[in-house]
Amino acid sequence: MVGGTVRTVGALLLDSSDHVLLGLRADWKNTWPECWDCIGGHLEAGETLAGALSREVQEEIGVRPTAYSLLGAVPEQRPDLYGDALHHIFLVTAWDGGPPENTSDEHSEIRWFEIGGIAALNNLADRDYGRLIKSVRNAARSLRTAQRREQKTPTS
């Protein structure tokens, strides 16, 4: 916590079909219960953002991020209910450990969503994710374009 502000990390996993993985927060959670959210959680004392991202994703869905980039930081939209927080949201495009599975009690369910369908969720934990979802869509397009170029480039 810095100056009373809790710092968290959140992962938006993007699969090869441009679907994004979200978790439905368990009903017992103190913040945003029964809302769709990124996979992630609080930074521990002395932990880096990358370290927290790896730890939280492994704890919650059993995979280890291997390719990721920071999309942005989103302030808590309801500090009156949940306190001051800054959520660091990452796009994760590759991971080790097989398909993600719900390996903790943090979420009652995890599910892949089409990028365009996320903004329509009425129980999304943070409406500001819409801005980040646009970044995900743009990143997905750039990633796919780069992959197509790599496939067309002859090797010597």
The confidence score (pLDDT) of residue 153 equals: 66
120 is a domain residue: yes
Contact 32, 25 (CB under 8 A): yes
For residue 15, tell me if it sits in a domain.
Answer: yes
Range of the domain at 24: 6-152
70 is a domain residue: yes
CA angle 53/136/49 to nearest 5° reads 20
Confidence (pLDDT) at 2:
47
Instruction: Flag whether pLDDT at 1 surpasses 50.
Output: no
Whether residue 148 lies inside any domain: the answer is yes
Note the pLDDT of residue 41.
94
Regarding predicted confidence, which is higher, 66 or 117? 66
Output the domain CATH number for residue 130. 3.90.79.10
Q: Share the mean pLDDT of the chain.
A: 87
Q: What is the per-residue pLDDT across 17-71, written as a single tens digit (0 to 9) for each?
A: 889 999 999 999 888 889 999 999 999 999 999 999 999 999 999 999 999 999 8
Strand positions, DSSP E, the chain: 6-14, 19-25, 36-37, 39-42, 64-75, 85-96, 107-114
Assigned domain for 114 exists: yes
Q: Give the pLDDT score at 142.
A: 75
Q: Is 1 inside a domain boundary?
A: no
Look up the pTM and report it: 0.84
Whether 97 and 1 have beta carbons less than 8 Å apart is answered as no
Average pLDDT over residues 2-8: 80
What's the domain count of the chain?
Answer: 1
Mean predicted confidence (pLDDT) in 77-101: 91
110 has a pLDDT exceeding 50: yes
SS3 17: coil
The helix (H) or strand (E) run that includes residue 137 is helix 129-152
- What percent of the chain has pLDDT above 90? 53
Mean pLDDT of 98-102: 97
Q: Is residue 73 part of a domain?
A: yes
Task: Report if residue 131 sits inside a domain.
Answer: yes
